[in-house]
């Protein structure tokens, strides 16, 4: 990460959208689309198996609602074309103004995933055991770890894409970040020593090239986390298949 702004005649507000940045952001949006697709895919399998358990009708309906929401978010990402956005073509307001609508949309996605992940990894697990008296449809511990770790890194990137440009707006905040900072302040946490990724400081970028480079590095990190998550989801699908046999999705 950058160590701060260089001494120059321009300020961060002067950063402009470049072709390199557009290409880097397009890669990131594709990673987010893959992230959503991985959720949609495994949830569809989960929902299919839940059909066989009559006591989980309400829970199944809830997951169907989440899938519809995620599919809508994903369709928007797939159809979104950065090269056709006026804010990027005309550099209206510079890079910061171009990033704001993307950041806001990604935050919307992450807030929904926060609710889904809580429901999927905690509330639903208890309901499944309570209503079925077995763990045939529960998640594995390793899959829960991967779900949370992957989510945390997507959250951190989204914070970085905004904060690294010095954008300050009450409308561009994630609840999990704000809550973590509040708790850290109350507990007197040493921000330099903590392992909590939400508390790691985001440094401003120096120029457009650095923003593009770090965005590409984040893409690689998120792809790595996503690969781990996909492997866990594949293992879950195999577990459910062994318990319930073939199911048409």
Chain segment 117-165, per-residue pLDDT in tens: 999 999 999 999 999 998 899 999 999 999 999 999 999 999 999 999 9
What is the rounded radius of gyration, in angstroms, for the C-alpha atoms of the chain?
20
Judged by DSSP in three states, 46 sits in helix
Give the predicted TM-score (pTM) of the model: 0.91
Sign, CA dihedral 93-99-102-105, equals negative
Residue 80, both tokens: 């979104």
C-alpha to C-alpha distance for 218 and 207, rounded to whole angstroms = 17
Judged by DSSP in three states, 93 sits in coil
The residue among 112, 223, 231 whose CA lies nearest residue 157 is 223
Sign, CA dihedral 90-91-97-99, equals positive
C-alpha to C-alpha distance for 85 and 88, rounded to whole angstroms = 5
CA atoms within 13 A on the CB side of 46: 27
Is 70 exceeded by the pLDDT of residue 194?
A: yes
Chain segment 161-186, per-residue pLDDT in tens: 999 999 999 899 999 999 999 999 88
Sign, CA dihedral 29-38-159-222, equals negative
Contacts from 134-142 at CB under 8 Å and sequence distance 24+? 136/240, 136/243, 136/244, 137/46, 137/49, 137/50, 137/53, 137/56, 137/240, 137/243, 139/236, 140/232, 140/235, 140/236, 140/239, 142/232, 142/235
Give the per-residue pLDDT at 92: 62
CA atoms within 13 A on the CB side of 229: 27
User: Which spans in the chain are helix H?
Assistant: 19-50, 57-79, 86-89, 94-118, 124-132, 141-163, 175-187, 208-244
C-alpha to C-alpha distance for 215 and 111, rounded to whole angstroms = 21
Give the per-residue pLDDT at 2: 39
Give the per-residue pLDDT at 91: 57
Chain segment 3-41, per-residue pLDDT in tens: 343 344 446 778 999 999 999 999 999 999 999 999 999
């Amino acid at each position: 990460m950058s160590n701060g702004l260089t001494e120059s005649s321009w300020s961060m507000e002067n950063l402009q959208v470049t072709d390199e940045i557009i290409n880097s952001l397009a890669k990131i949006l594709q990673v987010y689309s893959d992230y959503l697709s991985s959720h949609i895919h495994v949830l569809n399998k989960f929902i299919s198996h839940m059909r066989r358990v009559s006591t989980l009708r309400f829970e199944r309906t809830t997951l169907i609602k989440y899938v519809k929401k995620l599919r809508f978010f994903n369709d928007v990402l797939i159809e979104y074309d950065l090269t056709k956005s006026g804010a990027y073509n005309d550099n209206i307001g510079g890079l910061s103004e171009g990033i704001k609508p993307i950041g806001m949309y990604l935050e919307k996605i992450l807030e929904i995933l926060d609710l889904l992940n809580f429901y999927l990894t905690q509330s639903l697990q208890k309901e499944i055991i309570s209503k079925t008296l077995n763990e045939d449809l529960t998640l594995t511990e390793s899959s829960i770890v991967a779900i949370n770790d992957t989510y945390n890194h997507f959250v951190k990137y989204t914070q970085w894409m905004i904060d690294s440009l010095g954008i300050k707006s009450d409308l561009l905040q994630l609840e999990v970040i704000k809550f973590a900072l509040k708790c850290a302040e109350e507990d007197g946490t040493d921000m330099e020593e903590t392992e909590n990724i939400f508390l790691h400081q985001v440094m401003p970028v120096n120029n457009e090239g650095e923003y593009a480079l770090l965005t590409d590095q984040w893409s690689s990190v998120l792809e790595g986390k996503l690969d781990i998550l996909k492997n866990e989801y594949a293992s879950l699908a195999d577990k459910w298949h062994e318990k319930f046999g073939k199911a048409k999705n």
